[in-house]
């Protein structure tokens, strides 16, 4: 069953790249005592994700942080090296934490996995944005198939 507003975020482990190499990120640590915007894309460097979704959060990061958000995190079912390269290519700097859900375990724990086998992409995560406060989902915005509206940075900003 998919996560909904009011639910506690599941525990899990994602990966991010540091200057010392890949590092595990425990979701309990990511969310504890913080307000976090977690958004997910079906894949790094894919058309909508690369041209609109991630750039929107990069452009509005300062405004989102000004609304009391401690961290903005981008998640995809890609490996940590791809997520790091995508972050560099997109100029995220320190505005967005790039998180790899390499095997799709966290997307599955959220109930938001996506069967993209028809596109040769295996199992991925759906396109979504969740506003999390101290480990609890306050807003859960999951896109309908082929849509890009409710998970966009502009929409998330309007909810803060």
Dist CA 61 CA 63 (whole Å): 5
41 Cβ neighbours under 8 A, 6+ residues apart: 48, 49, 53, 54, 74, 75, 76, 125, 127
- Concerning whether 49 is annotated as a catalytic residue, the answer is yes
Q: Which residues contact 58 (CB under 8 A, 6 or more apart)?
A: 90, 91, 92, 95, 96
Point out the catalytic residue in the list 38, 44, 49, 58. 49
Instruction: Spell out the residues 6+ positions from residue 15 whose beta carbon is closer than 8 angstroms to its own.
Output: 22, 23, 24, 25, 79, 80, 83, 99, 100, 102
- The catalytic residues are 49
């Amino acid at each position: 069953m998919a996560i909904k507003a009011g639910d506690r975020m599941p525990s899990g482990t994602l990966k991010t790249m540091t200057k010392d190499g890949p590092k595990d990120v425990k979701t309990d640590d990511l969310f504890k005592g913080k307000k976090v915007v977690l958004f997910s894309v079906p894949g790094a460097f894919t058309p909508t994700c690369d041209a609109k979704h991630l750039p929107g959060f990069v452009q509005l990061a300062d405004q989102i942080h000004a609304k009391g958000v401690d961290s903005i995190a981008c998640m995809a079912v890609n490996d940590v090296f791809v997520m790091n390269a995508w972050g560099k290519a997109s100029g995220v700097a320190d505005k967005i934490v790039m998180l790899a859900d390499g095997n799709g375990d966290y997307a599955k724990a959220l109930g938001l996995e996506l069967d993209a086998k028809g596109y040769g992409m295996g199992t991925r995560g759906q396109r979504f944005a969740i506003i999390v406060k101290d480990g609890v989902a306050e807003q859960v915005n999951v896109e309908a198939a082929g849509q890009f509206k409710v998970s966009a940075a502009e929409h998330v900003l309007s909810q803060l």
